[in-house]
A and B are shown apart, each in its own frame.
Chain A
Amino acid sequence: MTDTIKTDVLIVGAGPVGLFAVFELGLFDMKCHLIDILDRPGGQCAELYPEKPIYDIPGWPLITAQGLVDKLLEQIRPFKPDFTYNRMVSSLEKLDDGSFRVTTDENEVLEAKVVVIAAGGGSFQPKRPPIPGIEAYEGKSVFYSVRRMEDFRGHDLVIVGGGDSALDWTLNLQPVAKSVTLVHRRPEFRAAPDSVNKMYAMQEMKELDFQVGQVTGLTGVDGQLASAIIKGPDGDVEVPCTRMLPFFGLTMKLGPIAEWGLNLHENLIPVDTEKFQTSVPGIFAIGDINWYPGKLKLILSGFHEVALMAQAAKRIVSPGERIVFQYTTSSTSLQKKLGVHD
């Protein structure tokens, strides 16, 4: 347990819309803290398609997704938002004073006057490989990430996948594990060529085993794996396996947000179109995660939603304070906040 972090606005999701929310909220002097399950800002833009061009951002005939994220980070820098990465928000409770207490999956506690859900398509979570019965082993001998290398010491380890995670952990855990078998459906990898070369060199030295194929079955008792069956070009092979690390990429799931007592509409959060507030006052939803009649899942629409949400959030964070509508082009007070005047 760490000390409770207090902020004005907690933003769940650091994708483009969550990032821009920092800007609009910042203009109204609200301090923001963002939580994201990824290890960096940008959401889908950073994780799914960083190099892809986007053509419908006003004023940018073409900008790459990562380029947009970089520009947004530059734009919100004056407001000094705090970021917590690699965390999923697991629970939310409303406190007596109307504020919210949020707990992460690592038991950090945050309190905020307003919660803004900008979670896009949901949280990125590891994809479960299509191996029958794998659920029974998850968390006991099948893991989707490495928290401590020691957990793999002395084990017959099977790593499945062909990207950097698979290759990096193959190389890093080889000295620790009793044996390492890497399984990938083809001899080509998506990983850094240097890692691939190292892996093949280690295979030459019989320090690890690389099998082309797919894991089609597991054996074991009470969640403890014993072996994995690999279907390869020459038929089935059974290899010893007491720990498995599948790296099949990420998929998006709504996750614990579904348990927060908000009304849902087909895994989306219905909001009004004046404030973009959910069924719980003080909790807003912006961007791809929300739903209202006519909703379009565009970054552009998310930006619009942010501007209106910020007005409503301000009324909650600073009740009774008069809200003055101002333009950044002419307002000296807004420009001061942006740091463009001394």
Chain B
Amino acid sequence: MTKLTFIAHDGTQFDVDAENGSTVMENAIRNAVPGIEAECGGACACATCHVYVDQAWTAEVGEPEAMEEDMLDFAYEVQPNSRLSCQIKVRDALDGLVVRVPARQG
């Protein structure tokens, strides 16, 4: 199991055990992390699972692909460390990953 930490907009911290191969979004939904809507269900089609990747993790998580970058145009307050959590797959190297949930999704 890989440990992930979600920090909700109000500062509440959610530490969850995630299965490798699942997406960060799926783990947010499974653990009822507030502020992750995932309207489209993970199809990279809606930008409502937007998260900010903790600065210490941006290199390891990597850059969004072109399609995700396109969807990020629709997200609220996009920053250089913005990602759509449905496009981040959990793997060993992400053990300890911290992501923050924006004030709102769109």
Contacts and interface: CB of A to CB of B under 8 A. Distances in A.
A162 B46 contact: no
B97 to A, nearest CB: 25
B65 interface: no
B1 interface: no
User: What is the predominant secondary structure among interface residues of chain A facing chain B?
Assistant: loop
Interface string A46-58: 0011001000000
Contact of B46 (A48, A163, A184): A48
A252 B48 CA distance: 11
A65 to B, nearest CB: 9
Interface stretch (A1-9, A82-90, A98-106, A185-193): A185-193
B40 A185 contact: no
A185 B45 CA distance: 19
Nearest to B66: A188
A186 B69 contact: yes
A127 B77 contact: no
B69 A188 contact: yes
A169 interface: no
A40 to B, nearest CB: 17
Chain B's interface size range is 10 to 19
Chain A's interface size range is 20 to 34
A248 B70 CA distance: 11
Interface string B48-78: 0000000000000000001001100110111
Contacts of B46: 48
A190 B43 contact: no
User: What is the predominant secondary structure among interface residues of chain B facing chain A?
Assistant: loop
Contact of A185 (B47, B66, B73): B73
Contacts of A44: 40
A81 interface: no
A130 interface: yes
A22 B78 CA distance: 42
A217 interface: no
A252 B74 contact: no
A190 B106 contact: no
B39 interface: yes
A49 B39 CA distance: 11
Interface centre among B47, B74, B77 (most CB of A within 10 A): B74
A48 B106 contact: no
Contact of B45 (A48, A188, A252): A48
Contacts of B69: 186, 188
B15 to A, nearest CB: 27
Given A190-B70, A190-B73, A49 B78 contact: no
Given A248-B73, A248-B74, 6 more contacts: A44-B40, A49-B43, A121-B39, A162-B70, A186-B69, A248-B106
Interface of B: 39-40, 43, 45-47, 66, 69-70, 73-74, 76-78, 106
9 contacts: A48-B43, A48-B46, A49-B43, A52-B43, A127-B106, A130-B77, A163-B73, A184-B73, A186-B69
Q: Which 8 A-B pairs have the closest CB atoms?
A: A249-B74, A49-B45, A48-B45, A190-B70, A49-B43, A52-B43, A130-B76, A162-B73
